[in-house]
Amino acid sequence: MAYLALYRKYRPLTFDDVKGQEVVVSALKNEVKTGRVGHAYMLCGSRGIGKTTLAKILARAVNCEHPVDGNPCNECAACKQINAGSSMNVVEIDAASNNRVDDVRELIDGVRYSPTNAKYKVYIIDEVHMLSPGAFNALLKTLEEPPSYVIFILATTDVQKVPVTILSRCQRYDLKRIPVPVIVERLKEIGERENIKAEEKALSYIARAADGGMRDAVSIFDKCSSFISEGDVLTYDKTLEILGNVDVSVFSGMFESLRARKINECIKVLDEISDSGASIVQFITDFTWYLRNMLLVQLSENPADAPVDMTSENIALLKQQADEIGNKTLMRYIEVLSGLKNELRNSTDKRVIIELALIKLIEPTSESTDAAVLQRLEQLESELNQQERVLNGMNVDAILSKVNQAVSSGAVVQGNEADAAQRKEALENKKKELLDAMPEDIKEIASRWNEVCSLIKDDMSRTTFSDREKVGVSYSDNEIRLLFYRHMDYTQFYAPYFEFQKTIEEAIEKLIGKHVKVTGVDRSGEGKAKEIDIRSILPENVLSLPIVEVNK
């Protein structure tokens, strides 16, 4: 006997054998058990998930002489004839090759004849969306009011192309993609019956490669098993080699090369893929999905709950890599690679187009798109933030932490108590120095002098220092200078009973959280003229003040 493909050999014969379609199976079984069978059904879904299989099981179940809990017995004459394909009561039509009006009219002519030795005459029309508009119109009337002994079962992978007038006359059932664990369990069952040993990881990869289709999964499993000898084990690496695919580690390496902007490493990966016999176009497609999964993991609060079909180890790897790149850059990667699909379809030199796309990812300056400009801005912002952290003393916290640890652990307390006290005092002074304001903070204080004055609680002090005709503000690298244009204000500033200097320093520390030294400069002897521009006699780095008269 000729070899029978595994997907045909292990095709489900009852509703209970169908995996991953529990909702649809339950509904159809109940209809058969209660005798409330509809006149037209529409089974929708992607390829290989059981549409035609369910249609044939239903055709046997409604004609079975001894049904068992809604399932066909597969032992009676009617079931055997239908299984053998010799029954006149079940007509299967491929609409992809029989889509003309004449084909449908021929079908309608056969409807008028009653079934032979059966309850129902069942018409199974596969890929019904391929029918021409005229064929749909010819089928419409018969589909709406068929004879009582006729059942139409329509199956399609593209229900959007089926006219609404047809859909409204059918009971519609949407079949879902079969989960990976369900497919793996089915492959294990087949492997045990066929004495085929396979690693769990290999079966999981086959299940994911099938994209939710049980038929595709069994076909891939059949293909891979033919490459191993009897008694050998189908390994994960062998599966990748047979299917011409690559491991997640290759995608991870490509991502790291892109992030590090190493175009030579990226080209080397393409060379390795090409030399292994795999398709670089398929590799780019799979890599795009890898980046898509990384983006979803990055945006999920809990990476384990991200809607990605990957192992926990691979999800952890995605999370680690996702933390090293911004989501906007990641979205740009996906956008550029996804846009290659149309270009590659009509290109004769696909390798060059792919290499050019990788260069665009590494060098956003070569593009003028909004996404590329945004990535360049992000890079610039990142560099500025690093400089700002240095200028603002962001590393002070780490230094202080080490200082505090040293003090608390007693590491700095050596020798006699006097030495320990001196060292501790030196450390405290060091901390105070670290907390002093940086030059950028000094400039900020000078520009926000009105806010500083508003924090002074004493009314007299606040009035004095906010009066720009009395006090100007200048700055140097590490201090704020107050320029007094009245000698009396200058002397009061240093008077111990007024404590003006301490008041201002406390206000500044409250504003920015850092210590700033404040000094006074007596400028009362300058500006003898009745009207004079104060900016002409002050240093260049003094704030511009709207003052024209300094002597009253």
The CATH topology of domain 248-362 is Zinc Finger, Delta Prime; domain 3 (1.20.272)
pLDDT at 37: 92
pLDDT tens-digit map of 508-525: 777 777 777 777 777 666
Q: Where in the chain is the domain with CATH 1.10.8.60?
A: 180-243
pLDDT above 80 for 34: yes
pLDDT tens-digit map of 388-433: 555 555 454 555 555 455 545 554 444 445 555 665 565 555 445 4
Q: Report the distance separating Cα 178 and Cα 217, nearest Å.
A: 10
Q: Indicate the pLDDT class of residue 230, thresholds 50, 70 and 90.
A: confident
**In this structure, what token pair is assigned to residue 443?**
């400039």
Q: Does residue 196 or residue 341 have the better pLDDT?
A: 196
pLDDT at 268: 92
Count of C-beta atoms within a 10 Å radius of residue 196: 21
* Range scoring the smallest mean pLDDT among 377-381, 454-458, 500-504, 541-545: 541-545
Q: Helix, strand, or coil here: 278? A: coil
pLDDT at 402: 53
pLDDT at 345: 81
pLDDT tens-digit map of 435-452: 555 666 677 777 777 777
Q: Please name the residue that has the structure tokens 């933030």.
A: 385
* Range scoring the smallest mean pLDDT among 274-288, 359-373, 376-390, 409-423: 409-423
Instruction: Give the contacts of 319 (CB within 8 A, at least 6 positions apart).
Output: 297, 298, 303
pLDDT at 178: 92
Residue 400 burial (10 A CB sphere; 0-12, 13-18, 19+): middle
* Range scoring the smallest mean pLDDT among 176-185, 448-457, 473-482: 473-482
Residue 76 burial (10 A CB sphere; 0-12, 13-18, 19+): middle
Count of C-beta atoms within a 10 Å radius of residue 97: 10
- DSSP-derived secondary structure for 15-30: GGG--S-HHHHHHHHH
197: DSSP letter = E
Q: Report the distance separating Cα 186 and Cα 214, nearest Å.
A: 8
Count of C-beta atoms within a 10 Å radius of residue 244: 13
> Do residues 64 and 95 make contact, with C-beta atoms less than 8 angstroms apart?
no
Query: Partners of 484 in the beta sheet?
Result: 471, 522
pLDDT above 50 for 273: yes
Q: Report the distance separating Cα 155 and Cα 104, nearest Å.
A: 16
Q: Indicate the pLDDT class of residue 385, thresholds 50, 70 and 90.
A: low
Which long-range contacts does 536-539 make (Cβ < 8 Å, 24+ apart)? 538/472, 538/474, 538/483, 539/474
Q: Where in the chain is the domain with CATH 1.20.272.10?
A: 248-362
> Do residues 208 and 290 make contact, with C-beta atoms less than 8 angstroms apart?
no
Mean pLDDT over 197-226 rounds to 91
Q: Indicate the pLDDT class of residue 362, thresholds 50, 70 and 90.
A: confident
pLDDT at 499: 72
pLDDT at 329: 86
**In this structure, what token pair is assigned to residue 189?**
């069952």
pLDDT at 187: 94
Q: Indicate the pLDDT class of residue 550, thresholds 50, 70 and 90.
A: very low
Q: Report the distance separating Cα 355 and Cα 333, nearest Å.
A: 14
Class of domain 440-536: alpha beta
Q: Indicate the pLDDT class of residue 189, thresholds 50, 70 and 90.
A: very high
Q: Report the distance separating Cα 76 and Cα 95, nearest Å.
A: 30
pLDDT at 56: 94
Of residues 307, 328, 349, 545, the one with CA closest to residue 449: 545
pLDDT at 551: 36
Q: Where in the chain is the domain with CATH 3.30.300?
A: 440-536
pLDDT at 537: 37
pLDDT at 541: 42
pLDDT tens-digit map of 231-250: 889 998 888 888 877 888 89
pLDDT above 50 for 535: no
Q: Report the distance separating Cα 2 and Cα 122, nearest Å.
A: 30
pLDDT at 54: 95
Q: Report the distance separating Cα 303 and Cα 296, nearest Å.
A: 8
**In this structure, what token pair is assigned to residue 125?**
């029309």
pLDDT tens-digit map of 44-94: 999 999 999 999 999 999 999 999 999 999 999 999 999 988 889 999 999
What percent of the chain is predicted at pLDDT more than 90?
Answer: 32
Residue 301 burial (10 A CB sphere; 0-12, 13-18, 19+): exposed
0.75 surpassed by pTM = no
CA distances to 154, 433, 438 from 399, rounded to whole Å, are: 73, 12, 16
Look at phi and psi of residue 261 and say left if phi exceeds 0, alpha if psi is from -120 to 50, else beta.
left
pLDDT at 431: 44
pLDDT at 247: 82
> Do residues 92 and 124 make contact, with C-beta atoms less than 8 angstroms apart?
yes
pLDDT at 128: 93
Mean pLDDT over all residues of the chain?
79
Instruction: Give the contacts of 446 (CB within 8 A, at least 6 positions apart).
Output: 473, 474, 475, 480, 543
- DSSP-derived secondary structure for 69-97: TTB--S-SHHHHHHHHT--TTEEEEETTT
Q: Where in the chain is the domain with CATH 3.40.50.300?
A: 6-174
Instruction: Give the contacts of 428 (CB within 8 A, at least 6 positions apart).
Output: none
Of residues 389, 514, 508, 492, the one with CA closest to residue 453: 508
Count of C-beta atoms within a 10 Å radius of residue 303: 18
CATH code for the structural domain at 180-243: 1.10.8.60
pLDDT above 90 for 346: no
Specify the CATH number for 6-174; select among 3.40.630.40, 3.40.50.2300, 3.90.1150.10, 3.40.50.300: 3.40.50.300
> Do residues 242 and 220 make contact, with C-beta atoms less than 8 angstroms apart?
no
Look at phi and psi of residue 45 and say left if phi exceeds 0, alpha if psi is from -120 to 50, else beta.
left
CA distances to 182, 204, 262, 289 from 22, rounded to whole Å, are: 12, 22, 50, 29
pLDDT above 80 for 378: no
pLDDT at 520: 75
Sign of CA dihedral 501, 506, 508, 509: positive
